[in-house]
C-alpha cells in the first residue's frame, strides 16, 4: 500500500518537501524514505502504526546536489565538447537541491503506517513488508520512459500518470516500479528542465 506516497511522487506539489520515494531494503523490518528540498532541512521522519498514539522518529542524512554545467550555453559554443567550453561551466542559476534519506524501523510485518516528513504538513501511508508465509505478494504497475512531461503546458496530466493515479486510488496496485528516466535532459538550462 505504497500508493499514497507514490501519488505524491507522481503528481507533485508546491512546497519545501518533494520527490518522495519509498523503498524496501535488505532488512524486511525497515522502510527507507527519500525526498528532496530546495534548501538545507532536517532529514527527520515521524511515523507510527496507522491510528496508534505512539510516534517514532527516524533521523537520516542529506547531501547537496548541484548541477554544475549549463548545457544550453555549451550548445552555443563553437567547441563541440561541452567540457572544453569554459563558459558552460559557469552556471550561477543552476539547480541546487538537498537529497534526504531516512530509514524507518523496526516495523511490524504487514502493518500499515503513517508518516510525516519534517518540513511538510502532509501525512502519507505505506504498508510494512509482510514476512508471513501466508502472504500472497504485491501487485505493481511497471513503467518507464514516459516520453512526456508529467503535465503539458495546458496543465493536463500525461495519460500514463492519470492511469497510474487512478489505479493507486482504486487500490488495485501496491506500488509502482519505475524502470528509468525519472527526468529528461537534467543538464539543460542548468538543471531546470526535467526537474
| Range with lowest mean pLDDT among 22-26, 33-37, 138-142, 189-193 | 189-193
Checking if the pLDDT of 182 tops 80, the result is no
| Whole-model pTM over 0.85 | no
DSSP code per residue over 111-148: -EEEEEETT----EEEEPPP-STT-----EEEE---SS
Rounded percentage of the chain residues whose pLDDT exceeds 70: 66
Instruction: Return d(Cα 120, Cα 108) in angstroms, integer.
Output: 25
Amino acid at each position: 500500500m505504497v500508493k499514497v506516497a507514490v501519488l505524491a511522487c507522481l503528481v507533485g506539489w508546491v512546497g519545501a518537501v518533494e520527490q518522495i520515494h519509498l523503498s524496501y531494503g535488505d532488512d524486511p523490518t525497515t522502510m527507507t524514505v527519500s525526498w528532496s528540498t530546495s534548501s538545507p532541512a532536517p532529514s527527520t521522519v515521524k511515523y507510527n502504526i496507522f491510528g496508534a498514539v505512539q510516534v517514532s522518529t527516524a533521523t537520516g542524512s542529506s547531501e547537496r546536489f548541484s548541477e554544475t554545467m549549463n548545457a544550453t550555453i555549451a550548445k552555443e559554443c563553437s567547441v563541440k565538447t561541452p567540457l572544453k567550453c569554459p563558459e558552460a561551466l559557469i552556471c550561477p542559476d543552476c539547480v541546487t537541491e538537498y537529497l534526504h534519506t531516512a530509514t524507518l524501523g523496526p516495523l511490524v510485518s504487514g502493518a500499515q503506517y503513517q508518516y510525516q516528513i519534517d518540513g511538510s504538513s502532509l501525512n502519507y501511508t505505506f504498508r510494512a513488508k509482510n514476512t508471513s508465509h501466508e502472504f500472497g505478494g504485491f501487485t505493481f504497475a511497471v513503467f518507464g520512459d514516459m516520453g512526456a512531461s508529467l503535465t503539458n503546458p495546458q496543465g493536463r496530466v500525461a495519460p500514463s500518470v492519470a492511469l497510474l493515479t487512478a489505479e493507486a486510488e482504486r487500490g488495485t496496485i501496491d506500488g509502482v516500479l519505475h524502470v528509468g528516466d525519472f527526468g529528461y535532459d537534467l543538464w539543460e538550462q542548468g538543471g531546470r528542465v526535467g526537474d
